């Protein structure tokens, strides 16, 4: 790759400076009701993990008059400001109570708190009543709230989710009477829908999401952790209750999801088999005591292969996909019965795949 000196590149006629911060901050009020957050006096703690986006927050806070503080704002390329994860490694996992320990410890000092990763495309939400929210739980809560409080969104605006996201989102979509579009993993599958406004919301189980402006037009075609964090404050300002409490309402009506992802050791040949396994090869007729209603190797929302297999029943499911970086495959699983039922799903998933690998 040909390289050029930075100082020389800056002088090139093909290079132009652009100030991203000011227009982004100015436009945020067209996405989230920040005037409502201000008038309600919602107190917010913000943790830009690694601080790559820290310089965005003070202009945003000042512009909208928010009662917010920014912690760990020093630029930290080594991430020395973070608490270590469960295995004593530093990891930017907004869903880990270990990595988010410092923010969780401050939960009683603020109405809502949230963290973003270094490029601010993912979020982690902490509430007083529930502590750190599971990413799937917050996605379901955000979807339920947004489609009830965005009257200018199209009546046909759909909900986008990935095949490994929680089925509580399916149940929320059905309750709302909205079309659900289930895609392979990857935010690229939501782009066309967000651009056209045919998707009101697109989200991934890994705490990445985006949604339309208040008027129903496109905001961004990539994940935006900043608006998801600020939305938690809007939710509290409008309803007087935090996102954990609203999720409790959803589960009281729609059932409690028990969701987990585990990694299972796998060889290269086994990963290749899993990548192209068919429903016929797996051949499961029942799963954890319930009849199988669908076995999928293609996402039902767009018919695209997702590089693995998914088995669904009325009370649970699992999806298995090979890792692209490690000698493991990942099992995503969920039960609407119990944690014991979830464990049974996981065990039967591994047993079924073991037979496929040995065939």
pLDDT in tens, 19-59: 999 999 999 999 999 999 999 999 999 988 766 688 899 99
- Between CA 93 and CA 113 the distance in angstroms is 16
Average predicted confidence (pLDDT) for the chain: 93
| Eight-class DSSP state of 330 | E
The pTM (predicted TM-score) of the whole model is 0.93
258-358: in CATH 3.30.310.50: yes
User: Tens digits of per-residue pLDDT, 63-108?
Assistant: 999 999 998 666 667 776 677 777 777 776 667 777 777 788 888 9
Residue the block writes with tokens 């490029």? 119
Q: Residue 51 gets which letter from DSSP?
A: G
Helical spans, DSSP H, in the chain: 6-10, 21-27, 34-40, 54-64, 101-104, 135-148, 168-176, 191-196, 225-239, 243-254, 268-275, 279-282, 339-358
Residue range 227-274, pLDDT digits in tens: 999 999 999 999 999 999 999 999 999 999 999 999 999 999 999 999
What pLDDT, on a 0 to 100 scale, did the predictor assign at position 104? Answer: 82
Other Cβ atoms within 10 Å of 272 Cβ, number: 12
Report DSSP state, residue 122.
Answer: B
Q: 21-254 has which CATH code?
A: 3.40.120.10
Q: What are the tokens at 276?
A: 């192209």
Token pair recorded at residue 13 = 């006629």
Supply angle C-alpha 252, 253, 259, rounded to 5. 65
pLDDT (tens digit, 9 = 90+) per residue, 280-329? 999 999 999 999 999 999 999 999 999 999 999 999 999 999 998 889 99
CB 124 within 8 A of CB 207: yes
Token reading at 152: 């200018």
Q: What percent of the chain has pLDDT over 90?
A: 77
Q: Domain-by-domain residue ranges, the chain?
A: 21-254, 258-358
pLDDT at 94: 65
pLDDT of residue 58: 92
């Amino acid at each position: 790759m040909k390289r050029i000196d930075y100082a020389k590149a800056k002088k090139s006629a093909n290079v132009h400076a652009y100030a991203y911060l000011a227009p982004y901050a100015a436009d945020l009020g067209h996405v989230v009701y920040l005037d409502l957050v201000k008038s309600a006096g919602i107190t917010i703690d913000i943790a830009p993990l690694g601080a790559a986006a820290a310089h965005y927050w003070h202009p945003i806070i000042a512009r909208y008059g928010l009662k917010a503080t920014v912690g760990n704002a020093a630029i930290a390329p080594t991430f020395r400001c973070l608490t270590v994860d469960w295995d004593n490694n530093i990891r930017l996992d907004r869903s880990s109570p270990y990595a988010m320990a410092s923010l969780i410890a401050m939960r009683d000092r603020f109405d809502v708190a949230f963290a973003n990763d270094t490029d601010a495309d993912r979020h982690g939400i902490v509430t007083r009543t529930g502590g750190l929210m599971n990413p799937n739980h917050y996605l379901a809560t955000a979807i339920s709230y947004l489609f009830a409080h965005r009257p200018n969104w199209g009546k046909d605006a759909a909900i986008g989710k990935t095949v490994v996201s929680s089925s509580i989102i399916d149940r929320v979509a059905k309750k709302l009477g909205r079309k659900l579009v289930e895609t392979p993993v990857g935010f690229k599958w939501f782009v066309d829908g967000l651009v056209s406004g045919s998707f009101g919301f697109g989200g991934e189980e890994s705490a990445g999401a985006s949604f339309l402006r208040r008027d129903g037009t496109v905001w961004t075609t990539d994940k935006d952790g900043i608006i998801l964090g600020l939305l938690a404050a809007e939710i509290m300002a409008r309803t007087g209750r935090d996102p954990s409490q609203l999720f409790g309402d959803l589960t009281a009506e729609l059932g409690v999801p028990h969701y987990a992802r585990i990694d299972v050791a796998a060889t290269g040949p086994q990963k290749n088999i899993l990548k192209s396994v068919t429903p016929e090869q797996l051949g499961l007729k029942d799963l954890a005591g319930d009849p199988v209603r669908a076995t999928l190797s293609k996402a039902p929302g767009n018919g695209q292969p997702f590089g693995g297999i998914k088995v669904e029943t009325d009370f649970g499911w699992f999806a298995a996909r090979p890792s692209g970086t490690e000698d493991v495959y990942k099992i995503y699983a969920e039960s609407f019965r119990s944690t014991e039922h979830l464990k049974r799903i996981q065990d039967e998933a591994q047993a079924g795949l073991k037979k496929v690998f040995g065939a």
